[in-house]
Amino acid sequence: MFDELSSIENPHVRSWLEEVATLTKPSNIHICDGSEEEKAALTAQALDAGELEELNKEELPGCVLHRTAQNDVARVEHLTFICTNEEKAAGPNNNWMAPNEAKEKASKIFDGVMEGRTMYVVPYVMGPIGSPYSKVGVEVTDSIYVVLNMRIMTRMGSRALDQLGPDSEDFNRGLHSTADRNPDRRYIMHFPEENTIWSVGSGYGGNVLLSKKCFALRIASWLGRKEGWMAEHMLILGIEDPEGRTTYVAAAFPSACGKTNLAMLIPPESMKGYKIWTVGDDIAWMHIGDDGRLWAINPENGFFGVVPGTNMKTNPNAMITVQKNTIYTNVVLKSDGTVWWESHDDPAPTEGALDWKGNPWTPDMKEEDGSPKKGAQPNSRFTAPASQCPSIAPNWEDPKGVPISAIIFGGRRARVAPLVYEARDWQHGVYIGATMASERTAAQYGKQGEVRRDPMAMLPFCGYNMADYFQYWLDIGKRIPNPPKIFHVNWFRTDEEGKFLWPGFGENLRVLEWIVDRATTPEKTENAQETPIGLVPTTSSINIEGLETTQEQLEDLLKIDPKEWKAEVESQNEFLDKFGEDLPKEIREEQGKLKDAL
Ligand code: O2Y
Ligand code: MN
């Protein structure tokens, strides 16, 4: 029926694509092979159509700019659904819709949506090619912007169909159309029981690059539980010490807590001989290795990083990464064809610039309420190949992954949480992850200072009931003979005047150094002290040499205030109670132990 699809050998892929094409009725079908010629042709087409703008060829070779619709600039959690047969399987942490209802609703929008348009078929691999831990997906989309992003973010093209093989049914089926970008007809629907995603009405980021949050986290967390592995919202990095030993850690922080910056950290002057190797900045798929350790791969092939706030001080490696072959979304376009954003190293352009909406912009402009008018959208992004990052680990594509010695959870807390502490054991670590929280900053919508629980930084990304997710963490811990040690960090503790006590950025390596020491030399006891919340560094075991941080400030950074912690334990209940009887008893057990100890 669709001649273009006859070249697809795998009958399961072909019949699903026929089904999709019958529904969406495209005028053309293009099966992406992932070649350079294809990239050039699609880019030329998007430039012609005004979907992309070419940037300064000398300064930013191979870079383009895309502007999204003004009502389509971020993930839409309220329009994101988990569509399982049983509502309880989705849990109180997700919006739920019955699969039949979801398909009926979305089918009406998808019906004929690609008439007069091209349907692009994007086969892709998540994880290194040939890795036993990699997974194949196929995304159908009517957006060239999506195809070009997927080309960076995944291993895309014919090699994905080769990896799938001629008869496997084991692939994620992702259907996307930008449709009319009407937020009233926008849905991001996940069908974990069918390994399927339907996304309609958006052309932006996490809503449409279905490989990322939709597949690699929401669907993969479901698959991981079924198949005995873990899909986590974690960066992966290697810390090479002056003796040349590299220790790998995985770290989970809520969105907008500087994960990409930590993943690409540059050691401070005072820590010569250290090197940080970036394996991934957002997602980790972890399996139990034959040696009894937990091994992690980065399923992605690129970075989809937030632009404002990125500069040569906060993240020099990211700045170098985005100098070529990068797609910029919703940033300022300068008259010389280069780009700019708030907190860029260069001064704001004073003439000839266009803001993220494509309107003339100068830095003195004001919004109606008198606040400064931003040139770049606060959630503007770069999409850049991971291979371009100067700190990319030489083994980042090792099919077996890297062995994880420590898992780090982190939040943004002005008080309560110390700079760093260690869980007594895996079960205690699961409790720490399950109750981790951040306070809203002025930059976020909502009440400033309000504490938001975001367990394991997975609240928006866990594809099933989080009570079952906590249970799965507890269960898998028992099956890892040599599990990573679990830690919690808080770079954001402030003093009485609200000033940050810790310098952050590259200096965070001083904390990583303690973590590595604890994780790799468990026989050492002099570097930590038992407290009600876990093991906290002794004040002499965090190196503050050369910092402005005083010994007194370090003591404040490591202080446990029983009064604050008693309030913290109580405040956890509002979140934990949502799971009712389903909450694993071990979480309450650990909470009880903490309460007693306080
Ligand atoms: O708003 C979006 O669509 C992007 S959100 C995002 C992008 C890259 C990495 N992490 C995130 C996140 O929200 O955690
Ligand atoms: Mn993320």
Distance CA 148, CA 38 (A): 10
Kindly tell me if the per-residue pLDDT of 429 is higher than 70: yes
pTM: 0.97
pLDDT tens per residue across span 307-349 = 999 999 999 999 999 999 999 999 999 999 999 999 999 999 9
Which of the four CATH numbers 2.170.8.10, 3.65.10.10, 2.60.120.20, 1.10.530.10 does domain 52-66+302-390 have? 2.170.8.10
Cα separations in angstroms, 302 against 235, 305, 567: 13, 9, 41
Q: Which helix (H) or strand (E) holds 535?
A: strand 534-537
Where residue 130 falls (left for φ over 0; alpha for ψ -120 to 50; beta otherwise) is left
Closest Cα to atom 12 of ligand 1:
255
User: Which one, of 588, 479, 595, 464, lies nearest residue 81 by Cα?
Assistant: 464
Q: Is the pLDDT of residue 441 over 70?
A: no
Report the pLDDT value the prediction gives residue 572, as an integer from 0 to 100: 97
Q: What is the reported pLDDT for 444?
A: 52
Residue-wise pLDDT for 34-73, tens only, equals 999 999 999 999 999 999 999 999 999 999 999 999 999 9
pLDDT given at position 505: 92
- What pLDDT shows up at residue 448? 63
Whether 32 is catalytic: no
**Do residues 542 and 514 make contact, with C-beta atoms less than 8 angstroms apart?**
yes
Give the CA radius of gyration of the chain: 24
Q: 303 alpha carbon to ligand 1 midpoint, in Å? A: 10
Residue 250: closest CA among 454, 62, 468, 405: 405
Can you tell me the distance from the alpha carbon of 489 to that of 558, in angstroms, rounded to the nearest whole number? 11
Which positions ≥6 away from 189 have C-beta within 8 Å? 80, 81, 83, 97, 102, 106, 197, 198, 199
Closest ligand 1 atom to 206 CA? 3
Query: In this predicted structure, what is the pLDDT of residue 440?
Result: 76
Residues present in the chain in total: 598
Superfamily of domain 3-31+75-227: Phosphoenolpyruvate Carboxykinase, domain 1 (3.40.449.10)
H helix and E strand count, the chain: 16, 31
How many whole angstroms from 483 Cα to the centroid of ligand 1? 28
Residue type, 418: P
Residue ranges covered by each domain of the chain: 3-31+75-227, 52-66+302-390, 232-298+396-597
User: Six-digit token pair at 331?
Assistant: 């940033």
* Strand, helix or coil for residue 143: coil
Do 52-66+302-390 and 232-298+396-597 share a fold? no
How far, in Å, is the centroid of ligand 2 from the Cα of 467? 21
Residue of 146, 176, 212 best suited for mutating to test ligand 1, as the one with most atoms within 8 Å of CB:
212
Strands 339-340 and 332-333 turn out to be: antiparallel
Q: Which fold has domain 232-298+396-597?
A: Phosphoenolpyruvate Carboxykinase; domain 3 (3.90.228)
Give the span between the Cα atoms of 517 and 419, in whole angstroms: 16
Confidence of residue 1 (pLDDT cuts 50, 70, 90): confident
- For 169-190, the pLDDT digits (tens) are 999 999 999 999 999 999 999 9
